[in-house]
A and B are shown apart, each in its own frame.
Chain A
Amino acid sequence: MALLEITNLTVEFATAHGSLRAVDRVSLSLDAGDIVAIVGESGSGKSVAMLALMGLLPWTATITADRMSFDGKDLLTMNPKQRRAIIGKDISMIFQEPMTSLNPCFNVEYQISEVLAQHFGGKRRSYKPRVIELLKKVGIPAPETRLKAYPHQLSGGMSQRVMIAMMIACEPKLLIADEPTTALDVTIQAQILELLVELQKANGMALVLITHDMAVVAETADRVVVQYAGQQVEQRSVIELFNNPRHPYTEALLSALPEYAKEKTLNAIPGVVPGQLDRPVGCLFNPRCEYAQDLCRQQPPQKSEGVLCHYPLPLKAGSNSHTEVIL
């Protein structure tokens, strides 16, 4: 049995202009120890889908799914209290902005020991040795001296390490990292990713990495989900995906990487992800797709071979040009 099973997850937000479908029939299945990357542009519903899983969406969101289960427990029928017993313990999540994700009014020790006391009971103070151990684990030098530090005294990279320490404190079975390196310096980005993968291996936890950085995907993930405008357009192993993208959007994303720029300008994808009011008829990607045909503009495609496209790109034999450049 898979650790996490999501089938046809849909998230809709009630807005002043009617309902907005931010996530559209997304499915994901994860086993213990898997590393899955979810990629896509801003606004493609990557974070929203994972926040829905965590139960962290605001009350304006309506979440529906055929199935959403974790470790054999049905998340859909669970009451909030039962879900809170899992959140932060077995499933935890780290966020994009480490500087604002820590509470400015509490010190590092308080914030980390709080989650331990919440899930394992006992006094916060009794977890001090464990907090030091965790800080050491995430690579914070001289952790004893950092216990009483407040978030404003920490750098971005340091804050993200504290966040990670906090979220792996209860040794979760699944860690969701929502663009964990976007707000950080390039040199720190690599360190944080390395740390996440290291922890993933050491604890044997599953890792979902939300990112829009294809290089990060190539370096860390086993499997990739490509999301566009709330829909999953392609889902496959990382080597297959880089070797032979089947969806035109995936291909466009890959060729937008600076490594592939043959001329002075980058191969950007024209246009933006459609919003609530400018959803195209047919395939959602058709206005930006260079292969779009009449059928694409009239009918939404069905998923076949893991690709949501009327005319998936052909399977290539033996070519691995993309992976060579990246890896």
Chain B
Amino acid sequence: MFKFFFKRLLVLVPVFFGVTLVAFGFIRALPGDPIEVLAGERGVSPERHAELMAQLGLDKPLWQQYLSYVGDVLQGDLGTSLITNRPVAEEFFELFPATAELAICAMLFAIIIGIPAGIVAAVKRGTLVDQGIMSLSLAGYSMPIFWWGLLLIILFSNTLNLTPVSGRLSFLFEVEPVTGFMLIDSLLSDEKGAFKSALHHLVLPTIVLGTIPLAVIARQTRSAMLEVLSEDYVRTAKAKGLSPLRVISVHALRNAMITVVTVIGLQVAVLLAGAILTETIFSWPGIGKWIIFSVFSRDYYAVQGGLLLIAACVMVVNLIVDLLYGLINPRIVH
């Protein structure tokens, strides 16, 4: 198991360098630079522009800039934001819990509904239930996130007045940030009703962000289950006299999970990308909003650092998925 883990870890090294290169190149490929953006419509004289660029170290050849950037990163320094003048890592980790909270809730939502829905569709294959679940999941998969978010806001916030439109907590409450996760912090605080408010604020963003992963997980679970249910060992399980529930949830699902877990891992990347849109729709103060702002202001270090850290999250999740894989499927580790 340790060897397996170590091998997986080694694979991440080239990925890490790839990500730094892409992040570094992508933001510089955009027209404009931080000074021009800061100066805005007034503009800035070429001499002053050159002077400021030199001050920021952006006048050197690209390869030099890249090497010094990677050197800093390897020492744990992601650089300083050109706009706020604060360390990028500090800004990131201040906002990250908000995104993580949203992403975790969305993923739980997708898994808790998606897997049972997929199982039911597979077991009831060809029936109205199956067709219903699959049509809904196709609709969910095809729904543009921003439109889906707006529809839900119109229905639940405007018409039914059930949920708030934006933010993480009502203005009535003030909660000390301990973990950065609002659900936990609001529970820890003495403020009555803060937890309920935090929960209310989470509902719509969770649904919006979780819809696509939910649809994908449901479809994948269905097809994996269909394949597994026709396997000989499922017949063996039935021949043992086991109850249908046990045959499906132990013998079939365990095997189907091998593919489903992979899909869940891949969906984490989709989720973080979707978080950017969702956070914008619901004014959710997370890294999605922050990174959009950084791109618009050509805050080179913030964008590079943000992308690198997001990529690191995806890599960690995929590493966990690989390990889970080994736990579910004995053929891999042994």
Residues of A within 8 A of B (CB): 54, 56, 80-81, 84-89, 92-93, 95, 97, 100-107, 114-115, 118-119, 150, 152-153, 163, 166-167
Bound together, the chains give a CA A56 to CA B230 distance in angstroms of 12
Q: B242 is contacted by which of A54, A95, A102, A114 (Cβ under 8 Å)?
A: A114
**Interface 1/0s, chain B 270-282, versus A by CB < 8 A?**
0000000000000
**Interface 1/0s, chain B 242-263, versus A by CB < 8 A?**
1110000001001100000000
B51 contacts the other chain (CB 8 A): no
List 15 A–B pairs whose Cβ atoms lie within 8 Å, in order of A's numbering: A81-B243, A84-B242, A87-B240, A87-B241, A92-B240, A95-B236, A103-B255, A106-B254, A114-B240, A114-B242, A115-B242, A150-B330, A150-B331, A152-B330, A163-B236
Cβ contact within 8 Å between A86 and B241? yes
Cβ contact within 8 Å between A56 and B235? yes
Bound together, the chains give a CA A239 to CA B238 distance in angstroms of 36
Cβ contact within 8 Å between A119 and B241? yes
Give every chain B residue within 8 A of A84 (Cβ-Cβ): 241-243
Bound together, the chains give a CA A268 to CA B166 distance in angstroms of 79
CB distance from A218 to the nearest CB of B (A): 28
Give every chain A residue within 8 A of B241 (Cβ-Cβ): 84-89, 115, 118-119
Cβ contact within 8 Å between B232 and A95? yes
**Which residue of the partner chain A has the closest CB to B243?**
A84
Cβ contact within 8 Å between A152 and B331? yes
Q: Which 6 A-B pairs have the closest CB atoms?
A: A88-B241, A88-B240, A100-B232, A103-B233, A87-B241, A115-B240
CB distance from A81 to the nearest CB of B (A): 8
B158 contacts the other chain (CB 8 A): no
B237 contacts the other chain (CB 8 A): yes
B328 contacts the other chain (CB 8 A): yes
Give every chain A residue within 8 A of B244 (Cβ-Cβ): 80
Bound together, the chains give a CA A65 to CA B16 distance in angstroms of 67
Give every chain A residue within 8 A of B329 (Cβ-Cβ): 104-105
Bound together, the chains give a CA A118 to CA B241 distance in angstroms of 8
Cβ contact within 8 Å between A104 and B236? no
Contacts A95-B232, A105-B329, A106-B254 given; 13 further ones with Cβ under 8 A? A88-B242, A95-B235, A100-B233, A101-B232, A101-B236, A103-B233, A104-B233, A104-B255, A106-B251, A107-B330, A114-B240, A115-B242, A163-B236
Give every chain B residue within 8 A of A100 (Cβ-Cβ): 231-233
Contacting residues of chain B (153-207) with chain A, CB-CB under 8 angstroms? none
Cβ contact within 8 Å between B239 and A92? yes
Q: A54 is contacted by which of B239, B243, B255 (Cβ under 8 Å)?
A: B239
Give every chain B residue within 8 A of A86 (Cβ-Cβ): 241
B3 contacts the other chain (CB 8 A): no
**Which residue of the partner chain A has the closest CB to B239?**
A93
Bound together, the chains give a CA A92 to CA B242 distance in angstroms of 12
B48 contacts the other chain (CB 8 A): no
CB distance from B246 to the nearest CB of A (A): 8
B334 contacts the other chain (CB 8 A): yes
Give every chain A residue within 8 A of B330 (Cβ-Cβ): 104-105, 107, 150, 152
Give every chain A residue within 8 A of B251 (Cβ-Cβ): 103, 106
Q: A104-B331, A105-B328, A150-B334 are in contact. Are A118 and B236 (CB under 8 A)?
A: no
Give every chain B residue within 8 A of A104 (Cβ-Cβ): 233, 255, 329-331
Bound together, the chains give a CA A81 to CA B244 distance in angstroms of 10
Give every chain A residue within 8 A of B238 (Cβ-Cβ): 56, 87
Give every chain A residue within 8 A of B236 (Cβ-Cβ): 95, 101-103, 163, 166
Q: A97-B232, A150-B334, A152-B331 are in contact. Are A103 and B237 (CB under 8 A)?
A: yes
Bound together, the chains give a CA A256 to CA B240 distance in angstroms of 37
**Which residue of the partner chain B has the closest CB to A92?**
B239
Bound together, the chains give a CA A54 to CA B251 distance in angstroms of 19
Cβ contact within 8 Å between A101 and B235? yes
Bound together, the chains give a CA A319 to CA B329 distance in angstroms of 59
Give every chain A residue within 8 A of B237 (Cβ-Cβ): 103
Bound together, the chains give a CA A150 to CA B326 distance in angstroms of 13
CB distance from B234 to the nearest CB of A (A): 8
Bound together, the chains give a CA A145 to CA B238 distance in angstroms of 27
Give every chain B residue within 8 A of A80 (Cβ-Cβ): 244
Point out which of A56, A89, A101, A150 has the most chain B C-beta atoms below 10 A from its C-beta. A101
CB distance from B148 to the nearest CB of A (A): 36
Give every chain B residue within 8 A of A101 (Cβ-Cβ): 232-233, 235-236
CB distance from A153 to the nearest CB of B (A): 7
CB distance from A123 to the nearest CB of B (A): 15
Give every chain A residue within 8 A of B334 (Cβ-Cβ): 150, 152-153
**Which residue of the partner chain B has the closest CB to A90?**
B241
Bound together, the chains give a CA A114 to CA B236 distance in angstroms of 12
**Which residue of the partner chain B has the closest CB to A54?**
B239
